[in-house]
Amino acid sequence: MSPPRRHLLAAFGGLAAMPAARLRAQGSTLRIGVLTDMSGPYRDPTGMGSVVCTQQAVADFAGPLGLSVEVIQADHQNRPDTGSSIARQWYDQGVDAIVDVPTTSVALAVSGIARQKNKVFLNSGAASAELTGAACSPNTAHWAYDTYMLAKGTGAAVTRTGGESWFFVTADYAFGTVLQRDVTSFIEAEGGAVLGSVRYPFPATTDFSSFLLQAQASRAMVLGLANAGTDTANCIIQAREFGLARSMRLVGLLMSLSEVHALGLRAAQELLLTESFYWDLNDRTRAFAARVQPRMPNRAMPGAVHAGCYSAVAHYLKAAAALGPSVAELDGAAVLARMKAMPTDDDAFGPGRLREDGRKLHPAHLFQVKTPEESRGPWDYYKTIATTAAEDAFRPMQEGGCPLVRGPAL
Amino acid sequence: MDDIFGIPAPLLFGQLLLGLINGAFYALLSLGLAVIFGMLNVINFAHGAQFMMGAFVAWMLLEYAGLNYWWALILAPLLVGVFGVILERTMIARLYKLDHLYGLLLTFGLGLIIEGIFRNQYGSSGLPYRIPPQLSGAWDLGFMYMPVYRGWVVAVAVVMCIGTWLVIEKTKIGSYLRASTENAALVQAFGINVPRLMTLTYGAGVALAAFAGVLAAPIYSVNPQMGSNLIIIVFAVVVIGGMGSILGSVITGFGLGIIEGLTKVFYPEASATVIFVVMAIVLLARPAGLFGRA
Amino acid sequence: MAAPGFSGTEFRNEEAFFLGFSQAQVVAFVLLIAFLAISPFFLYPVFLMKLLCFALFACAFNLLIGYVGLLSFGHAAYFGMGGYITGYTAKVWGLPPELSIVLGGLVGAALGLVIGWIAIRRQGIYFAMITLAFAQMVYFFCVQAPFTGGEDGIQSIPRGFFLGIVDLSRDMNMYWLTAGVFLAGFLLIHRIVHSPFGMVLKSIRENEPRATSLGYRTDDYKLMAFVLSAGLAGVAGGLKSLVFGIATLTDVFWTMSGEVVLMSLVGGLGTIFGPFLGAAVIITMQNYLAEFGAWVTVIQGVIFVLCVLAFRRGLVGEIGNWLRVRL
């Protein structure tokens, strides 16, 4: 079967064939499906960039490892039903690993399917620490970041560097409230205090000035934005307008490079945020960025989720090569076990490891956004304020409540 | 300073003022909807998308043509208005003889297309647009720090609303408009080109939405979904006010902005739903809306 | 309403041939049954189940728009809430699937009763805007309420055992249940439409003041139709949450309300078979378009515009018009 036709069939999915009629290619070609958001709010930090970085990992590693790998892609449109339909069909039709999957609800659904079908799920795009906590799975690995890492990297480090009193503007849904709760515990552990918070309805709020005035009236030193995407951008623009940026330090608890780029340095300057990857960290990250940038959408620099896809796929390929591709195709959990047994090392994150609960460990960096004067050119946005070591950056395994590590029969 | 219901009075005044600013956007948008509905009997579901277009055109004028905010304030509504005229001539005009719901479905589809195209072209993270230097800075009102630009938004919105009202109530073209809302056939019989009047009305309503979009560009992140978040609230505003009177929709817009602002202080979790609750109450008490004719 | 009715071309009321179906409808119905019976052996069952859930949802929606002339732009509220209730009761309370689906339908109907009671005070465009606003309110409730799991949704809902015997975790078993529920809903709607109650509904659509003058309490009829429609939407939502094992915010969001309008419009408003065909087209398209990524919304918008401008009868309406039969 010629590749274009197979491609079409994979896309047609539901209409294509019964599960029995597998599309397994001749020999053992590994299939990697990038399931991501190409039309919704997360398309810039994930989207086509994730596909490009996955292809880069294949280009960098498949040849030397002697593997034949095919990469396909789809848009889950941020809908759990669409996402899980595609995941089911992909797995049934011979896709061995699914990569990225932003939006927690879709990621949790895909994780369940991967486990049911004993395939591999390499998550980079979704934030929830649940994926390696109560909902952990022997078939799922979580790369790049999670809510706990963001909370710790920001909460503890900012408080330690003098931001002792906080006020939160929080999106009133699970992500926002969990983030606020986690950050609060780190602030208090460092001797700081939370002076107040306001929870606003998500996603209907565009004007935050009212909440910002309440924040200002609290006389807190730090304004924590426990929200994401457009909401964070609006908060930052309006905080600058109302002069909050002069009296408070702005902290974005979930910000990505693409969002800083969209806001522009004039609005985003001096903002504090935590990420696990920045293209200008060291020679290896710069080399990685230089390789992928020409093919990134709008020639953007890769962000943390993109780098996570690269790193995860690279490590997956190494493990699959070690096991032999024909074994890797049959037993997803065995590949994951192998991935956990080998140390990770790649240009994006440097050396690290994959923990038993599926959490990938690497350092977390607290960055401050540069002022327009400090920036030397496009995409020169961050300066490092503090770095949390890999072993400290993520939630200790015992606290996560992952059944995989609790040992048999409690 | 005294407390009012446990909230310091200065903070409360500040919040009232902010509510008024949000109300300005509601008023401008519901005004445009009411003008279009009055004349065409079409609920313009693409209104949110056209609001978003206004903001994007302002950004494009700056980015590609180097034209600043003040030019955008004139050119963006004009350009988007022309776009509206084209839509009306090529598509919406074909539906006047059918059930009004088809107009709603058509404009809903148009809204999806416009939003989708902008998302493809410019991503979803939003674009930066600066407050014009003449309007940056802030006044210290004693009880709050009031950005000059917000004051400008309220002032311009009030002027625009009064202006629209004057045009409709006091000018000749306004009288044609009112007359053809009542009885289009009769007005046509008097030799007035009613279809052209309808086209212009749609263009003007769309231009009002785009104008609001330009006003919003410097304070909200310019992104493709900025309109769809707003449009459902504006629909509720329109239902509450009733579409009977232009002035009614303006007053309702500002009033609901203030109610929403107060909710943000006393119970922020409900600030998105309060307008819908008001809508339910109004429907139970006065199904035609506060200013509507049954 | 002064403008012509909001449905396809009217045909002479043909003689009922079988089960209230006309001859042409019997042929179509047999084709439908054949499709339901044969397709799972050729097509992907989960895809088919998704299609049937949406087809039932679209049929429920079509009951309102096609036969009462009320355009609800907030049907996602009942669909999504039904899904949450079924998912929650099946997962947390451990109820059997048949009971949890019924509960999903009942809660959908109850929600429809409250919203419908307020919304039917206005007609036409106002009705659409009011239902949209209330659905948005339900959405905010679901974002914040603890039992829905917020943006994570309710995950890994067990399909359970139908009547305690049939293992639904096997896709084929789940498929037959889904097909059965769809057919039951489909026939129920058909029955309603052809009952005396349905005749009153149609007379309200055509001329409400006249129906009132004939002594019908039109508001009661409209509310009943609204509650039925909402209840069936709830059943469809519940079924879907069992099929996929998830219940999430997507199903309560206003875009879902728009999608069901689109399905009915594409299939043909006011036709019995239209919603099924419309759902089939849209769901297939979504699957196919996953590849095209960002253009999905644009393509959906274009279909909306084309349907309204050129194919107001929808697919089934056009086919019927071409064959000169009512489908």
Q: Secondary structure of chain B in the HEC alphabet?
A: CCEECCEEHHHHHHHHHHHHHHHHHHHHHHHHHHHHHHHHCCCCCCHHHHHHHHHHHHHHHHHHHCCCHHHHHHHHHHHHHHHHHHHHHHCHHHHCCCCHHHHHHHHHHHHHHHHHHHHHHHCCCCECCCCCHHHCCEEECCCCEEEHHHHHHHHHHHHHHHHHHHHHHHCHHHHHHHHHHHCHHHHHHCCCCHHHHHHHHHHHHHHHHHHHHHHHCCCCCECCCHHHHHHHHHHHHHHHHCCCCHHHHHHHHHHHHHHHHHHHHHCHHHCCCHHHHHHHHHHHHCCCCCCCCC
Instruction: Check residue A7 and give its pLDDT.
Output: 40
Instruction: Check residue C63 and give its pLDDT.
Output: 93
In this structure, the answer to whether residues A377 and A287 fall within a common structural domain is: no
- Asked if residue A399 is part of any domain, the answer here is no
For helices B194-216 and B9-40, the axis angle rounded to 10 degrees is 160
Q: How far is B10 from chain A (nearest CA, A)?
A: 10
Instruction: Check residue C3 and give its pLDDT.
Output: 38
**Lookup: tokens for C29:** 């119905």
pLDDT one-digit tens code per residue, C138-156 = 998 898 888 888 778 898 8
Chains in contact with B, where contact means 3 or more Cβ–Cβ distances below 8 Å, are A, C
pLDDT at B56 over 50: yes
Instruction: Check residue B111 and give its pLDDT.
Output: 94
Q: What is the distance between the alpha carbons of residues C161 and C98, in angstroms, rounded to a whole number?
A: 9
In this structure, the answer to whether residues A225 and A371 fall within a common structural domain is: yes
B89, B108, B249, best to mutate vs chain C, most C CBs in 10 Å: B108
Cα nearest neighbour of B145 on chain A:
A242
Report ipTM (2 d.p.).
Answer: 0.86
* Pairwise CB contact (< 8 Å): A42 & B124: yes
- Asked if residue A224 is part of any domain, the answer here is yes
* Pairwise CB contact (< 8 Å): B219 & A241: yes
In this structure, the answer to whether residues A159 and A182 fall within a common structural domain is: yes
Instruction: Check residue C5 and give its pLDDT.
Output: 44
pLDDT one-digit tens code per residue, A205-240 = 888 988 998 898 888 999 999 988 888 988 999 998
* Pairwise CB contact (< 8 Å): B99 & C305: no
Which residue numbers in chain A have pLDDT < 50?
A: 1-26, 408-410
- Asked if residue A9 is part of any domain, the answer here is yes
Dihedral pair phi/psi, residue B97, rounded to 5° = -85, -5
* Pairwise CB contact (< 8 Å): C302 & B235: no
In this structure, the answer to whether residues A197 and A288 fall within a common structural domain is: no
Instruction: Check residue A395 and give its pLDDT.
Output: 93
- Asked if residue A116 is part of any domain, the answer here is yes
In this structure, the answer to whether residues A346 and A371 fall within a common structural domain is: no
* Pairwise CB contact (< 8 Å): A14 & C153: no
B33, B37, B92, B101, best to mutate vs chain C, most C CBs in 10 Å: B101
Which residue numbers in chain C have pLDDT < 70?
A: 1-19, 290-294
Instruction: Check residue C292 and give its pLDDT.
Output: 66
**Boundaries of domain holding A61:** 3-145+282-362
Predicted TM-score of the model (pTM): 0.87
pLDDT one-digit tens code per residue, B87-105 = 999 999 988 888 888 998 9
Q: What is the distance between the alpha carbons of residues C261 and C275, in angstroms, rounded to a whole number?
A: 9
pLDDT one-digit tens code per residue, B106-157 = 999 999 999 989 988 887 778 888 889 888 888 877 777 788 998 899 999 9
Instruction: Check residue A3 and give its pLDDT.
Output: 38
Instruction: Check residue C4 and give its pLDDT.
Output: 39
C217 three-class SS: coil
pLDDT at B230 over 90: no
Instruction: Check residue C11 and give its pLDDT.
Output: 43
Q: How far is A240 from chain B (nearest CA, A)?
A: 10
Could you give the C-alpha distances from A315 to A20, A164, A387, C91, in angstroms and in order? 30, 40, 24, 36
User: What CATH number corresponds to the domain at position A177?
Assistant: 3.40.50.2300
In this structure, the answer to whether residues A44 and A125 fall within a common structural domain is: yes
* Pairwise CB contact (< 8 Å): A18 & C42: yes
Instruction: Check residue B88 and give its pLDDT.
Output: 94
Instruction: Check residue C18 and give its pLDDT.
Output: 66
Give the whole-number percent of chain B exceeding pLDDT 70.
96
Q: Where in chain C are the domains?
A: 37-252
- Asked if residue A401 is part of any domain, the answer here is no
Chain A, 118-147: which have a CB under 8 Å from a chain C CB?
A: 128, 130, 135
In this structure, the answer to whether residues A8 and A54 fall within a common structural domain is: yes
Cα nearest neighbour of C296 on chain A:
A39
Chains in contact with A, where contact means 3 or more Cβ–Cβ distances below 8 Å, are B, C
pLDDT one-digit tens code per residue, A277-297 = 999 999 999 999 999 999 998
* Pairwise CB contact (< 8 Å): A242 & B147: yes
